[in-house]
Amino acid sequence: MIRAYKFLLRPTVGQAIALGEMLRDHCSLYNGALQERRDAYRHPSKTSIKYGMQSEQLKDIRTFDPERQGRWSFSSQQATLRRLDKAFAAFFRRIKAGDKPGYPRFRGVNWFDTVDFPRDGDGCRLDSTPHDHVTRVRLQGVGHVRVNQHRAVLGTVKTVSVKREGRKWFVVITAEQPLPEPLPATGSDIGIDLGIASFLTDSNGTHSWGVFLTILNAKAESAGWEVMAVDPRNTSRRCPACGHTAKENRPTQEKFHCVDCGHQAHADEVGARNVLRTGLVRRNANTAWREAPPLRAGRSHEERFHAETPRSRTGQHRARARAAWNVAWA
């Protein structure tokens, strides 16, 4: 499991200048590599430039410009070239999919705000002064920069990135951690509706506010639990008592009143209960699929589908859906 940490940096005046120069030179490298690709493609030969070809040129570039390009980490420069390569890969992927291509653009120095170090210890070192009570990160060409580390970094540090946000500098660290032991099962499930009347309402009827989606997924992963997103359509219009769905069931933003059976509740609570049931249906269907008997060798799921008669296949689908629905509404 990979976990990210973000800490504020406290550079000296000289270190802040060096950090700005580092971004400037990596931006120049990015734009130069982009220009080379453009020029090569515009040439009558339609030459295609790849990451490997540009990475091989780094040694000569560093030798030619020792005061700027030769000052920084070789690995971080390779990471910048990989970033450009990923931009082109995404560009060609969008063309293939028929989407708006969005050709990679040149970056202004004020819009190039991150330098990546692919491996701790190669051009960078977290906790570079372990005998000092202050945590520092060593960055090649910059020095030992103070880190405002407000929490411990658990696991093995994999990558280090330096990021500028306005006038502040941050270090972003990714660390690999072992998968946690799942917390004991509670025997219960809960649905959460992100509503309008209330930001969040759970299927027990309680309300809370805050930016929590990222935290929710992270905490669930750490506990060995599952967060499942479901289609929210009609979840606040479907009656949890009888299943009748109609927009007339919502006479006001907060009120739910089923026009068929008369059931009344808070609209967001109704939405949360329907989210829970929809999630249970999906989970039960996924479990049934995983537990299905293995296919005979040489036959795909699609081949088995066509081998069965439409009537029997439809009946099986109906039976499975009915069973899952009954479990969810029980």
Q: Distance between CA atoms of 117 and 121, rounded to whole angstroms?
A: 9
User: Does residue 154 sit in the same domain as residue 214?
Assistant: no
**Residue 186, in any domain of the structure:** no
What single-letter amino acid sits at 126? L
User: Does residue 61 sit in the same domain as residue 200?
Assistant: no
**Residue 181, in any domain of the structure:** no
Residue 50 has a CB neighbour count (10 Å cut-off) of 10
pLDDT score at 178: 87
**Residue 184, in any domain of the structure:** no
What residues make up the domain containing 65?
2-176
User: Does residue 32 sit in the same domain as residue 91?
Assistant: yes
User: Does residue 201 sit in the same domain as residue 172?
Assistant: no
pLDDT score at 276: 86
Q: Distance between CA atoms of 201 and 232, rounded to whole angstroms?
A: 14
Provide the residue-wise pLDDT of the chain in tens; the chain has 330 residues. Answer: 889 999 999 999 999 999 999 999 999 999 999 999 999 988 888 888 999 999 999 999 999 999 999 999 999 999 999 999 999 999 999 999 999 989 999 999 999 999 999 999 999 999 988 888 899 999 999 999 999 999 999 999 999 999 999 999 999 999 998 877 777 777 777 777 666 556 666 666 675 655 566 777 777 776 667 777 788 788 888 999 999 999 899 998 889 999 999 999 988 889 888 988 888 887 787 766 666 665 555 544 444 434 443 444 444 444 443 443 333 333
pLDDT score at 218: 72
User: Does residue 143 sit in the same domain as residue 203?
Assistant: no
**Residue 182, in any domain of the structure:** no
Torsional sign, CA 319, 325, 329, 330: positive
User: Does residue 148 sit in the same domain as residue 239?
Assistant: no
Which distant-in-sequence residues (6+ apart) come within 8 Å of 184 by Cβ?
Answer: none
Edge-to-edge strand list for the sheet holding 207-208: 192-193, 200-202, 207-208
Q: Which of these three, 122, 141, 176, is where a domain ends?
A: 176
User: Does residue 154 sit in the same domain as residue 9?
Assistant: yes
Q: Which of these three, 111, 141, 176, is where a domain ends?
A: 176
User: Does residue 254 sit in the same domain as residue 121?
Assistant: no
Q: Are 282 and 225 in contact (CB under 8 A)?
A: no
Q: Characterise 126 by phi-psi region: left (phi > 0), alpha (psi -120 to 50), beta (else).
A: beta
Q: Distance between CA atoms of 307 and 75, rounded to whole angstroms?
A: 54
Which distant-in-sequence residues (6+ apart) come within 8 Å of 283 by Cβ?
Answer: 226, 228
Q: Are 247 and 237 in contact (CB under 8 A)?
A: yes
How far apart, in Å, are the Cα atoms of 248 and each of 147, 251, 257, 270, 302? 57, 6, 8, 14, 41
**Residue 24, in any domain of the structure:** yes
Q: Are 28 and 202 in contact (CB under 8 A)?
A: no
Q: Which of these three, 176, 201, 224, is where a domain ends?
A: 176
Number of structural domains in the chain: 2
User: Does residue 153 sit in the same domain as residue 199?
Assistant: no
Q: Which two tokens stand for residue 200?
A: 């969040």
pLDDT (tens digit per residue) in 113-127: 999 999 999 999 999
Q: Distance between CA atoms of 281 and 275, rounded to whole angstroms?
A: 10
H-run or E-run covering 136:
strand 136-139
**Residue 183, in any domain of the structure:** no
User: Does residue 152 sit in the same domain as residue 78?
Assistant: yes
User: Does residue 84 sit in the same domain as residue 6?
Assistant: yes
**Residue 314, in any domain of the structure:** yes
pLDDT score at 185: 76
pLDDT score at 182: 74
Q: Distance between CA atoms of 278 and 286, rounded to whole angstroms?
A: 12
β-strand partners of 255: 266
What single-letter amino acid sits at 252? T
**Residue 60, in any domain of the structure:** yes
User: Does residue 74 sit in the same domain as residue 120?
Assistant: yes
Residue 42 has a CB neighbour count (10 Å cut-off) of 10
Taking the chain, what is the end-to-end CA distance rounded to the nearest angstrom? 36
